[in-house]
Amino acid sequence: MLLNSTITPLCSVHCRIPDLPNVFTKALPYSTTLTATGKGSFTSRTLIKVSSSSENQAAVFDVASQPHDEGAAEEVVRRFYDGINRRDLASVEPLIAEKCVYEDLIFPRPFVGREEILGFFKSFIDSISKDLQFVIDDISAEDSSAVGVTWHLEWKGKAFPFSKGCSFYRLQMVDGKSYGRDVVEPAIKPGKAALGAIRAVTWVLQQFPQLADQL
């Protein structure tokens, strides 16, 4: 399965986080297009495009053989976040295609290929504390053609400032491999500066843990 996803920057000054803009609104965080052959079932080469805009990022993942059921897209998303939360890139790697394209719109160019994408995720993981975790607030699974997700970040169980996000995955049955993107590109592309901002906030919380009580 190829998962194309547009992600929003985590805690940037603009407050839009990786996975998740406002579903059903202009600030739609993740707009996903799932490509599959056959009617009603997804093949091992299903293409899922996720567009997220909370300060917008776009990503593409290729997932190897997903279950042929309506919950396949939901499961991919859950597995991805679980791997990132555990800082386990080994579990994330199988979700990314060899020739996958990951577009993070806070960066000037997309990350192309599994190796480059994993390098980006490694930089992301190395930039934040393990105490900072993605938490899925709600995820839809009833519709086989669309999946909506709302999430936020938590620091040691407490909500992290400016970290709420929402993603919408739209699945579409098509022939071949293609995907569409529905994301509003930010005028400013802070790039690694966004990771620096996250690192700075987590460092402050590590030095002054009592501040976490004020979150």
pLDDT of residue 23: 30
pTM of the model: 0.55
User: CA dihedral in degrees (5, 183, 146, 141; nearest 10)?
Assistant: 60
CB 122 within 8 A of CB 111: no
Say how many Å lie between the first and final Cα of the chain, rounded.
Answer: 38
pLDDT of residue 165: 74
- Separation in Å, CA 179 to CA 5, 51, 61, 210, 213: 10, 10, 12, 46, 43
Domain that holds residue 152: 2-214
Comparing C-alpha atoms, which of 189, 192, 198, 166 is closest to residue 19?
A: 166
Compute the distance between CA of residue 12 and CA of residue 54 in angstroms, rounded to an integer.
9
What's the number of domains the chain is made of? 1
pLDDT of residue 131: 92
Query: pLDDT by residue for the chain (215 residues), tens digit each?
Result: 444 454 544 443 333 334 333 332 223 333 333 333 333 333 333 333 333 334 444 444 444 434 445 456 677 778 878 998 999 999 988 866 677 667 666 678 887 878 998 998 899 889 888 899 989 999 887 766 666 778 888 999 999 887 777 766 554 443 333 232 333 345 566 778 778 888 888 888 888 888 878 77
> What CATH number does residue 162 fall under?
3.10.450.50
Please tell me the chain's helix, strand, coil percentages from 3-state DSSP, rounded to the nearest 5: 25, 25, 50
